[in-house]
Amino acid sequence: MYAYDEIDRTLVNERVEEFRDQVKRRLSGELTEDEFKMLRLQNGVYLQLHAYMFRVAIPYGTLSSQQLRRLAHVARRYDRGYGHFTTRQNIQFNWIKLAELPDALADLAEVGIHAMQTSGNNTRNVTSDQWAGVAPGEIEDPRIWAEILRQYTTLHPEFSFLPRKFKFAITASEHDRAAVKIHDIGLRLHKNAEGETGFEVLVGGGLGRTPFIGKTIKPFVVGSDLLSYVEAIMRVYNQYGRRDNIYKARIKILVHELGIEKFAHEVEEEWQQMRDGALKLDEDVVEDIRARFFYPAYEKLAHVPDELRKAAHDPQFEAWRKNSVFPHKVQGYSIVTISLKPVGGPPGDATAEQMDTLADLADKYSFGEIRVGHEQNLALPHVAKRDLPALWKALDKAGLATPNVNLVSDIIACPGLDYCSLANARSIPIAQELTRRFANHDTANLIGRLHINISGCINACGHHHVGHIGILGVEKNGEEFYQITIGGRADENAELGALIGPAVPYGDVADVVEDIVEAYLVLRARPDELFVDTVKRLGVEPFRERVYATR
């Protein structure tokens, strides 16, 4: 956990009072909606179909139990008793009243939570690996650098009015759980041939209307140069990025139009002028941030405790353990992923009661810490293996032990037309139907790892381009249709999926996905060849034939 200092606390509290005054002026008519819109967006307040939506920042997906309890309180007191965890590790409340928002923000500020960097044409919440700090083999905890970037970018005057929103993601593991290649700037901590630690910097990734996989602009930047290099990139973007066309305003378009070599050249020229200036990070500053991260006092525990051996006789526990429990860097501990994808449920939603329960379980079993993953699941990052059976029982009781992590029913979905004013089609009911179709755990296990991503419009909040199976809602003559892509992935081998054919109507989507999965089971070279690898090997044609032969 990162502990805020006095400056952070003051900033958060002042922001609440500033927004309280802005809301008061809006409700009195002193501010028009045109004047107020940017102010509310900079505090995470959108307007959706039925109500305002309030997006709260969870920097790099790390929450304390106290903070999660406070989110539950906001859900209960100001909303309708639940929240929705997003693909950028934030949480959204869908039914909040503008008049009550300042009070909600004030309640959150008491535990160091705010809504800065959740909206607007500025730098957004810096996301990271939800296993940061506990993943085996990690170079170092990437959240230290995410926090440095958070502090540097928050309210940065030069980057508060960018051509468009700007997203960072950072990972320090070989396996990329933070999807760094689909971000405006992706950072991968690694060691060079000399054994020094630094960043591979990727730029120009992104999804939406015009998807691109990020390109490496510099293979190695040392930590002390990180801020100056990032600032050089953002200055070039700020100078050349298009402000005349919202669809061409993201950095990915600039990188694409200039070409990575020319863009890199511009950045290099900018950087050489400033690299040894005020943004040079000295080790004391980094150490100061590092020192504000608190890590648990782990016990020396057995690799396989008796409790785990005994519980292994329970097939339900074993099904959950094999699916949801992952190796930890410390012997005797595990990382536990909490699926927020129950059969028939909306992906990523958690009730206030579930949040409270998880906060209690985090206190009891995970040193009071919870993580949010971009896959819209949560994680308890420090669970002693001896506690796994007791934790499972408690999670199961709260409806939080669905053993489907990384399986076909672990679906990423945006809120879609049920909530969102930008959407063209619904996402959640499609996800719900698919979870019912693939509810059988044995079948899901037979299929193996398969990520389905659903977006209700081209803005791609459900990351459909990088789903193993991607589903995009479109509108045709007033009806909901869905384009299906296959072969996308968001990890270190990120790729955009390929369209398999014409869009299909709402009622056919689940059948089409079943056809694709059945084709995969026939076509895969061996049982452990993943769906996405079969598509890579064979291309889309065999799947296209299967889906459209009878349609």
Partner 1 sequence: MTSPLEQKKIKITGPSIVTANRTWDGVVIYRTAGKDWSTDLSEAAIVRAADEARALLAESMADDLGAIGPYIAPVEIGEDGKIEPGNLREQIRLSGVTIGLPVQA
Strands 45-47 and 369-372: unpaired
Give the tokens for residue 16: 């609440």
Cβ distance to partner 1 smaller for residue 195 or 478: 478
Site for partner 1 in 80-119 (CB under 8 A): 80-82, 96-99
343 binds partner 1 (CB under 8 A): no
* CA dist., res. 163 & res. 203, Å (int): 16
Give the tokens for residue 3: 């502990």
Among 217, 352, 394, 484, binds partner 1 (CB under 8 A): 352
Helix spans in 482-540 (H): 509-523, 531-538
Cβ distance to partner 1 smaller for residue 97 or 397: 97
Among 346, 381, 467, 487, binds partner 1 (CB under 8 A): 346
Element at 325 (helix H, strand E): strand 325-327
As measured in angstroms, the least distance from the Cβ of 365 to partner 1 is 24
DSSP 280: P
As measured in angstroms, the least distance from the Cβ of 148 to partner 1 is 36
439 binds partner 1 (CB under 8 A): no
Q: Which stretch binds partner 1 (CB under 8 A): 103-111, 259-267, 347-355, 538-546?
A: 347-355
412 binds partner 1 (CB under 8 A): no
421 binds partner 1 (CB under 8 A): yes
Range 15-23, long-range pairs (CB < 8 A, 24+ positions): 15/43, 15/105, 15/109, 15/114, 15/116, 16/102, 16/105, 16/106, 16/109, 16/114, 19/43, 19/101, 19/102, 19/105, 20/102, 20/105, 20/106, 23/98, 23/99, 23/101, 23/102
419 binds partner 1 (CB under 8 A): yes
CB-based burial, 347-359: b 16+ in 10 Å, e otherwise? bbbbbbebbbbbb
As measured in angstroms, the least distance from the Cβ of 143 to partner 1 is 29
Strands 498-499 and 479-486: antiparallel
For residue 27, which of 93, 118, 102 has the smallest C-alpha distance? 102
Strands 452-455 and 412-413: parallel
423 binds partner 1 (CB under 8 A): yes
Give the burial class of 522: count Cβ atoms within 10 A of its Cβ; 0-12 exposed, 13-18 middle, 19 or more buried.
Answer: exposed
* Locus of tokens 């759980």: 177
68 binds partner 1 (CB under 8 A): no
Among 195, 315, 478, 527, binds partner 1 (CB under 8 A): 478
Cβ distance to partner 1 smaller for residue 144 or 425: 425
457 binds partner 1 (CB under 8 A): yes
* Total interface residues for partner 1 by CB under 8 A: 40
x-or-dash string of contact with partner 1, 458-477, rule CB under 8 A: -----------------x--
Among 57, 350, 401, 517, binds partner 1 (CB under 8 A): 350
Question: CB of 482 within 8 A of CB of 425?
Answer: yes
50 binds partner 1 (CB under 8 A): yes
As measured in angstroms, the least distance from the Cβ of 453 to partner 1 is 18
Give the burial class of 156: count Cβ atoms within 10 A of its Cβ; 0-12 exposed, 13-18 middle, 19 or more buried.
Answer: middle
Among 357, 432, 435, 483, binds partner 1 (CB under 8 A): 432
Q: Which stretch binds partner 1 (CB under 8 A): 157-165, 418-426, 440-448, 482-490?
A: 418-426
What are the φ and ψ backbone dihedral angles of 400, each rounded to 5 degrees?
-120, 25
As measured in angstroms, the least distance from the Cβ of 24 to partner 1 is 11
As measured in angstroms, the least distance from the Cβ of 97 to partner 1 is 4
Among 13, 20, 25, 47, binds partner 1 (CB under 8 A): 47
Q: How far is CA 348 from CA 55, 67, 377, in A?
A: 14, 18, 6
Cβ distance to partner 1 smaller for residue 258 or 474: 474
Range 320-325, long-range pairs (CB < 8 A, 24+ positions): 320/392, 320/396, 320/401, 320/403, 321/388, 321/392, 322/403, 323/403, 323/404, 323/405, 323/406, 323/407, 324/401, 324/403, 324/405, 325/383, 325/388
Q: How far is CA 319 from CA 112, 315, 323, 327, in A?
A: 37, 6, 6, 16
As measured in angstroms, the least distance from the Cβ of 349 to partner 1 is 5
Site for partner 1 in 225-244 (CB under 8 A): none
Question: CB of 385 within 8 A of CB of 304?
Answer: yes
- Cβ-based neighbour number of residue 535 at 10 Å: 27
531 binds partner 1 (CB under 8 A): no
* CA dist., res. 35 & res. 52, Å (int): 17
Q: How far is CA 153 from CA 148, 159, 161, in A?
A: 9, 7, 12
* CA dist., res. 205 & res. 215, Å (int): 7
DSSP 4: P
212 binds partner 1 (CB under 8 A): no
429 binds partner 1 (CB under 8 A): yes
422 binds partner 1 (CB under 8 A): yes
Among 13, 25, 49, 156, binds partner 1 (CB under 8 A): 49
As measured in angstroms, the least distance from the Cβ of 80 to partner 1 is 6
Site for partner 1 in 147-206 (CB under 8 A): none
As measured in angstroms, the least distance from the Cβ of 21 to partner 1 is 16
Site for partner 1 in 22-41 (CB under 8 A): 26-27, 29, 32-33
Cβ distance to partner 1 smaller for residue 429 or 470: 429
Question: CB of 180 within 8 A of CB of 188?
Answer: yes
Among 236, 289, 425, 486, binds partner 1 (CB under 8 A): 425
Cβ distance to partner 1 smaller for residue 293 or 506: 506
424 binds partner 1 (CB under 8 A): yes
Cβ distance to partner 1 smaller for residue 33 or 306: 33
Interface residues with partner 1 (CB under 8 A) are 26-27, 29, 32-33, 47-52, 80-82, 96-99, 345-346, 349-352, 417-419, 421-426, 428-429, 432, 457, 475, 478, 480
